[in-house]
Chain A
Amino acid sequence: MNATGIPLKEPAISAAAGDTEQLERALIDASTRVPVLIFYTSAVAWLILGTLLAGFVSFKLHTPDLLSDISFLTWGRVRPAHMNVMVYGWASMAGMGTAIWLMARLCRTVLRYPLLLVAGAGFWNLGVLLGVGGILLGDSTGYQWLEFPSYAAIILFVAYTLVASWAVLMFRFRRGEQIYITQWYLLAAFLWFPWLYAAGQLMLFVVPVQGVLQAAVGWWYANNLLFLWFGAIGLGTAYYMIPKVIGRPVYSYHLATIGFWSYALFSSWTGMQRLVDGPFPAWMVTASIAATILTLIPVATVGLNHHMTMQGYFPLMRYSPTLRFTVFGAMSYTVFSLVGVLISLRSVASYVNFTQASIAYSHLGLYAFFTMVIFGSMYYIVPRLIGREWRYGSLIKLHFWASAYGIGLMTLMLLAGGLTQGASMENPSLAFSESVESVLPYLRGRSLSGILLTVSHFIFAYHFGLMLFGLGRKSTVPTFLNPVESEGAEPH
């Protein structure tokens, strides 16, 4: 037993099942090695590129003349390049990697048709590469998160079809009748994404809708991508990792059911609240504001469920990297949703509508919640694919704190900056330029947080690289963040 008196081991169920289960699991993990590592490696490469672009974007925003004479380095092109690298390169690929591994584990079958996934990853990388290149060369479409020119979008869609058809096939081979909570979320994400992406592409570029509806479709797409694709993968992963690491079943299946269906129903109706008071029928905005407020139901149920599962096991966050990252992400999901509700209320929205606060919101969702959960899952999954443990607990710790402080500082800076900016913008006795001046100090602060995040991502990439080249520790005991004082900690 360790100092906390809490066992660091697998759920009781696996301990009882004995060697056959262990062997079966090892076989499944081995079958996922190549495809999942391809997804992860590409994701980490995109993460580094996206981080560099982000730093550049952040500095240019308060230093406008920095390299502005080169067309492909102009702020207005690098910014969408950064967003799309992060959204489609890093977050989507890492999310798919985790989802693939979880699917194989939860369907309790070795991964079949790996070539579908390898081809999918290849096409996806090609699509992102062409898309980002297109944006930098001046082919951006101008719609948030759909900036990729059509030639890249088609390749992405083909790639996605390969991955999604693999997911559906895997489901047919699953063993056991029970479908675990994580699988609901993953299956939903895999089915929602193509519909969403196809609807967005069709309604904006193939048979474009008229006028302002393009903006509405654009925001509907962006918000649903955040919730139904990233959000669903993130929540599903958290539902797997938290019980797995602490070795205790999820607190309540009923709560999980309520959480899942209310999430699907309400979060899909958000999006228009970001267009508050724009040239739209008022009912669209009002419906989305109502839906945003109703997302508090899934937030409360999911949050409560995780909290009750973790109850008494929080000290384990001192040791397990996976748990620490995942719980941070799960908590950020609550913060993200609360901020989302706050900035969508009409009285607040009229202040923060056109300010940096909306950037804070997307970073809370995509980074503080989703990315942190995915980091956690990678710390769990990669050793199982490679057969080596993470080399340095200290690097994981550094990664965590740099990420946590970085995203915390960024959120605070952007929210506070957004409020300041909005307050001066809504005061017509102040010149408009004063609203811009007022936010610049916060943007410099945000650049500082960007340095922290850059450090964190380089540390992670280095550590991941060590693992990839087989330089991890040979051990049966996972790498803990802090030494477990006593004997008896069992491997997991």
Chain B
Amino acid sequence: MISRVWRNTHFLLATSISLFLIIASISGVILGIEALIDQTKPQAIYSLESHSLKATMEALEDQFDDVYEIVVTEKKFVIVQGTTPNGFETFYVDPKTGIKIKNVSPSNPFFNQVRSLHRSLFLKKTGRILVGIVAFLLVLLSITGVILLVKRLGGLKHFFLPLKENNKYRKVHITLGKWFFIPLLIIGISGAYLVIERFDAFSKNAPNIRTYKVGEKKLNLNTLYLSDIKRVSYPFTNLKNDTYLIELKDQKVSIRQGDFSIVDQETFPVHQILKNWSYYIHTGESNVFIAIILSLSSLALIFFVISGLKISSKISWNLLKLNFNNNKEACVIILYGSETGNSFKLAQKLTKTLRREKHSVGLVSLNNYCVFPKAKKIIVLTSTYGDGEAPSNASNFERLFANLAQPYPIDYAILGFGSKSYPKYCQFAISLETLFKEKLNFNELNPLFKINNQSETDYLIWEKVIINKLKT
């Protein structure tokens, strides 16, 4: 019962955002690849933490007439803006020598378009909100997915054991789930956070600024490394009181150029630091390993959606069309318990066959078991879920069955679907047989028949037997 709630939630979430998920994951793969490409460029400096700001500033003095700004980007590019004998220039530098690596080139318009699609579906603000909601739903989807996964595997202890599953789409879905639910959860959380933070969800308190007296505290540029730095803005003039503005990951410090004494220091609020973390983890711009994980997760998400739609469509399609038969008039009732839709498909097939044989047949799920006024035969087709439990549309049957009595004596036949690779092969069908045997006025029409791995031949043999038995 509970499992059905999770499943339906998972299914509804997935179908409602599958289109967005496909867009986000395709664009996500492309952006992940962009992040990887960028990190192999010559201007990506991997030794940022070994260059002190002091040394870098000195190296730049030799190369520039006048330095305006040093920017260390998320992608580990060191960009310097200033004047050289060629005039005002902006280029990537090697922080060790201060020498130009190459000019800052416009970012690739293709990747820009893809980024815009990924962030806002080209819909600006509305798009961002949509994407934010999708990210949040992805979090819920991962959580419900993991709950279903653990249930499906029969508990946490089976998590790392080899998988027994014959349907290739289900196999893909489950295997991907094992591998990728953590990355996808993190992608969802960080993505949603980036959207929330962008809409000023956190009321900004007054900035946390501390001012110092002249000479009270000095900043040691020798122990400050480029890996800590986001931007250094140089003083406008040569005046001693004019300041450097140094922006670090978690604070902003302005220092006098004369003696490097701190003028004021602003520490960033927690939500901004969280945002930086979300950006770091969601974009993978500064870490090859994260970029690879992100790309793979996006790729996995595409397969998730496809395999998910493949395995759920049967159930959802079938559950939608159940209302044709007149159970009140039917003499033969076919009950089905189906998780993936296979048992249901065969139940439908049997219904058709029996109707051709001129029986009046009603088709009902086990959970919709009720009083059938004219029924004399009941045929059950059911699979087993997980560790010998009822499939989701049979979860209530036991209770219903115990409380209801049929007006006529009933001849019954049970067909169980299962896989011999499970220890509890056809367990639910076996449980039903026990119940039926104990029930008053219920007599066996045909003994319990089990079918391994949906064998078509076995089914047809059984069907023939049933047809014959119904004739007598």
A and B interact: no
